[in-house]
Every structure is written in C-alpha cells, then in structure tokens.
Amino acid sequence: MNTPVILVNFKVYNEIYGIKGLELAKLCQKVSEKTDVNIAIAPSITDLGYIAEKVSIPVFSQCAHNIKPGNGTGKITLEGIKASNAVGTLVNHSENRMIISDIESIVKKCKELDLISVVCTNNISVSKAVAMFNPTFIAVEPPELIGGDVSVTDADPDIVKNTVKEIQAISPKVRILCGAGIKNGNDVRKAIKLGAEGVLLASGVTKAKNPFQVLEDLASGAMQ
C-alpha cells in the first residue's frame, strides 16, 4: 500500500452506520482522488463488505479474531475479511486489546492470505515486541491522547520518533503510523517529519461538522 497514508477508523459512532458510513467512505475516496493522497478506511464491521464493494480506496476491518473458519459464533475470521474485499485489518486497537500470542498468529495468517496487518501499540516496548512479528504496519497511539484535542505529534513527539528508530533497528520493512489526537494537516506533516509513514485517526473525521474539508486539510499535510 502506498504511503504516506491517512487511515480513518470509523469506530462505531452513530454517524457512520449504513448509508451514512458509505457517504463518508465516498468522501474519503473523493479527496483521495482529488489530492492523490492514499486515504484508507476502517468502517464498522457490520458495514465492511457493503462499503468495500462500493469504493476503490483501501478498506480495512477494525479487528480480527485468532480462530479458524467453523465454530465461532460472533467472531471475525481473516478468511471472512478477505472474502469481504477488504485489504487488511487493524489488530490490537487500544479499545480491543489482544494477547501477544494472538497478535503473532493474526499477523502470520495475514501474510498467508495476502492481507495488510496494522498492529496498534501503546508504547515503544510493545512496538518493539510486535516488530519481531514483521507486520505490515505498526501504529503507535498513546491511549491517554486518543480522542483528545492535542495531537501525539505535539504532546509526545518522542514516542513517534523513538518508535520509528527502535522498529527500524529490529525490522526495517515494518512501516510506522502514529495516532491519537490527530486533527489536521499540520499534525500529519509533523508525523511524517518525525519518521512516520502516515496516521491513524477517527473522531477528527467521523465527528467533524465538515468531514470533506477536514479530509482535504489532512491530505495537504501528506503532500510533499
């Protein structure tokens, strides 16, 4: 997947279900096409296949479970994600934490299925441990800043810079995103300057009064 990337997590806000989620997905696609910046999305699981069939930008699942197809009512398999036309999945988001062995198994299975893995981490130590599994991306997000008004690039730039440094020393192929409090193009610009290859954000877009305008601003920060 081309970088820099802006990955918008829809989470499960009321603003993103059904037709409203599709409308936001199409706005993301429109801005991506207009600016030539890679904008990807992670819609609600209930809308994953519905949205993935109707847009051409990369679509991710918000999570996956470490199970094989078969018995597993209520679980989300990687095979199901693949069949939905999604390109990959978030793993271990701060709102849906996983044990390290499950993260390792999911990353391995993603490789087998040619899916992109975006493993979320909360600090440098966890980032280093996950880097040993060689996921496609690691997205470092200090939990205390998620959903807040201050970007990680201002509140804790060292966690971004040092995560990049430590991961590159372990596995140079792993690409790094950062998130938490990302709201505008300046935040994206700072993230890239700190060594990240993009950002992961949610409420800055999904709760915005004018998401198209916000997306354009975010994209401006990724344009070199």
Task: Please list the active-site residues.
Answer: 93, 141
Distance CA 119, CA 177 (A): 10
Return the structure tokens found at 72: 């597993």
Question: Torsion-angle region of residue 85: left (phi > 0), alpha (psi -120 to 50) or beta?
Answer: left
DSSP character string of the chain = --SSEEEEE-TT-GGGSHHHHHHHHHHHHHHHHHHT-EEEEE--GGGHHHHHTT--S-BEES---S--SSS-TT---HHHHHHTT--EEEES-TTS---HHHHHHHHHHHHHHT-EEEEEESSHHHHHHHHTT--SEEEE--GGGTTSSS-HHHH-HHHHHHHHHHHHHH-TT-EEEEESS--SHHHHHHHHHTT-SEEEESHHHHT-SSHHHHHHHHHHHH--
